[in-house]
């Protein structure tokens, strides 16, 4: 029975391309989205069989064009999240559609969009007030941005605002985020920001990034691995901090490579305590109970490095991360999707969505997407 159903489904899937090529797209469109629901049930059914070749998702790999059509025609209300764990069986274009369906569709009706009048001289503070006080339901309809005393409106202005606000927001001088020394376009939360109401600003940052993704605007910045993997709920390893702190990474690598006898002779002079500067004052934090009296040796050095990483890159930014995640989730179709989004996304995918060329918007491109009134 399963083989008959599976064979019938594959025949229907193969027929999709022919229908499109022969101009019968609109005749079949109403029923095509249901194919994905059928595929989901076939996948459940296939678990009772051991022959991997009969897995419908494995066979779907042969029909990327058809899957692309079906995913494009699906609605945001359709449950396609079950496909994400199998994203490697789907072409990159279809994967992007799956991810973007977690975001609301931008309203084309100007009257329904969330309007913002921005003063260029106070772009960060004014934008913060607009988005922080803005109702999330209103923000999900999309943004309409105008700069004070300027006539230009339209998508070009919106793109310019996104680019400028992200450059301001992620500027290390603002102290909310720190840049990776080997790639100044990659950022991670500053564990000791000096901005008043900094947690609200992290929520604001989450909203800005989600809105940029929703509007498909590249903003010239992206995330460091140590930031991205935590958004996905991952465990941070030594390799993950290489971009964020190359000095600490190199130091930890050297400790692991050292001869056991040298480490046990206390040549390092290290304990499970960490001394650092914060707001101009020296602080000492124990990495574990009684850490100041525990000497690092060859048997516990891996544990020391693990606890050091947890303190510097996990515990110290946990609250900042929580507020950023909350702000990001405010914009998605449903709350709670943010973890699913980052878990199924590759950092390289996010780079393509956010980073772009990293160059300023050209005047020619800006004018092409801008309207003038008056």
Q: Tell me the per-residue pLDDT of 303-340, one tens digit each, with 9 for 90 and over.
A: 999 999 999 999 999 999 999 999 999 999 988 899 99
Torsions phi, psi for 14 (to 5 deg): -65, -30
CA pair distance 179, 181, nearest whole angstrom:
6
> What pLDDT, on the 0 to 100 scale, is given for residue 80?
83
Q: What's the mean pLDDT in 254-276? A: 92
> What pLDDT, on the 0 to 100 scale, is given for residue 1?
65
> What pLDDT, on the 0 to 100 scale, is given for residue 356?
66
Work out the pLDDT band at 365, boundaries 50, 70, 90: very low
Structure tokens at 192: 């000791």
> What pLDDT, on the 0 to 100 scale, is given for residue 374?
42
Which of 277, 353, 275, 330 shows the shortest CA–CA distance to 308?
Answer: 275
- Whether the predicted pLDDT of 41 surpasses 90: no
**Mean pLDDT, the chain, integer:** 85
Tokens 């199924």 map to which residue? 344
The answer to whether the Cα torsion of 299, 300, 305, 310 is positive or negative is positive
> What pLDDT, on the 0 to 100 scale, is given for residue 342?
94
Question: Which pLDDT tens digit goes with each residue over 74-127?
Answer: 877 788 888 888 877 777 777 888 888 899 988 777 778 899 999 999 999 999
**CA-CA-CA-CA dihedral for 80, 84, 87, 90, to nearest 10:** 0
Residue 78, phi-psi category: left (phi > 0), alpha (psi -120 to 50), beta (remainder): beta
The structure's pTM equals 0.85
- Whether the predicted pLDDT of 21 surpasses 70: no
Burial class (CB in 10 A: 0-12, 13-18, 19+), 78: middle
Where do the domains of the chain lie?
A: 1-102
**At a CB cut-off of 8 Å and minimum separation 6, what does 78 contact?**
33, 36, 37, 101
DSSP string, 16-71: HHHHHHTT-HHHHTTTTTHHHHHHHHHHHHHTT---GGG-HHHHHTT-HHHHHHHH
Structure tokens at 46: 């296939």
CA pair distance 23, 370, nearest whole angstrom:
35
More confident residue, 94 or 212: 212
With beta carbons less than 8 A apart as the criterion, state whether 369 and 156 touch.
yes
- Whether the predicted pLDDT of 201 surpasses 90: yes
Work out the pLDDT band at 51, boundaries 50, 70, 90: low
Which of 245, 143, 247, 142 shows the shortest CA–CA distance to 188?
Answer: 245
CA pair distance 352, 224, nearest whole angstrom:
14
CA pair distance 229, 347, nearest whole angstrom:
8
> What pLDDT, on the 0 to 100 scale, is given for residue 319?
96
CA pair distance 34, 12, nearest whole angstrom:
12
Question: Which pLDDT tens digit goes with each residue over 135-194?
Answer: 899 999 999 999 998 887 788 999 999 999 999 999 999 999 999 998 999 999 999 888
> What pLDDT, on the 0 to 100 scale, is given for residue 307?
97
């Amino acid at each position: 029975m399963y083989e008959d159903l599976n064979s019938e489904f594959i025949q229907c899937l193969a027929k999709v391309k022919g229908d499109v090529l022969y101009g019968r797209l609109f005749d079949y469109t109403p029923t095509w989205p249901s194919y994905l629901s059928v595929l989901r049930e076939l996948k459940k059914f296939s678990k009772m069989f051991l022959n991997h070749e009969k897995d419908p998702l494995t066979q779907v790999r042969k029909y990327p064009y058809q899957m692309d059509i079906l995913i494009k025609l699906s609605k945001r209300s359709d449950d396609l999240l079950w496909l994400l764990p199998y994203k490697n069986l789907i072409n990159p274009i279809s994967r992007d559609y799956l991810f973007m369906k977690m975001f609301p569709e931008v309203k084309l009706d100007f009257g329904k969009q969330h309007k913002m009048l921005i003063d260029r001289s106070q772009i960060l503070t004014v934008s913060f007030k607009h988005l922080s006080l803005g109702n999330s339901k209103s923000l999900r309809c999309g943004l309409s941005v105008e700069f004070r005393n300027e006539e230009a409106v339209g998508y070009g202005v919106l793109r310019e605002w996104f680019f400028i606000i992200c450059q301001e927001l992620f500027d290390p001088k603002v102290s909310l985020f720190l840049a990776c020394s080997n790639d100044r376009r990659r950022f991670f939360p500053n564990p000791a920001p000096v901005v008043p109401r900094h947690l609200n600003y992290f929520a604001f940052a989450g909203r800005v990034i989600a809105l940029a993704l929703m509007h498909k605007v590249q903003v010239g910045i992206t995330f460091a691995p140590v930031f991205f993997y935590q958004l996905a709920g991952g465990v941070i390893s030594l390799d993950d901090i290489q971009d964020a702190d190359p000095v600490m990474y190199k130091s930890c690598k050297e400790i692991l490579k050292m001869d056991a006898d040298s480490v046990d002779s206390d040549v390092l002079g290290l304990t499970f305590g960490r001394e650092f500067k914060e707001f101009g004052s020296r602080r000492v934090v124990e990495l574990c109970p009684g850490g100041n009296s525990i000497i690092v040796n060859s048997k516990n050095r891996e544990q020391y490095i693990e606890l050091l990483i947890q303190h510097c890159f996990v515990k110290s930014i946990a609250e900042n991360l929580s507020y950023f995640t909350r702000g990001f989730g405010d914009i998605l179709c449903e709350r709670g999707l943010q973890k699913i989004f980052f878990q199924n996304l590759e950092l390289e995918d996010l780079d393509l969505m956010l980073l772009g060329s990293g160059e300023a918007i050209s005047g020619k491109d800006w004018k092409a997407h801008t309207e003038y009134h008056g």
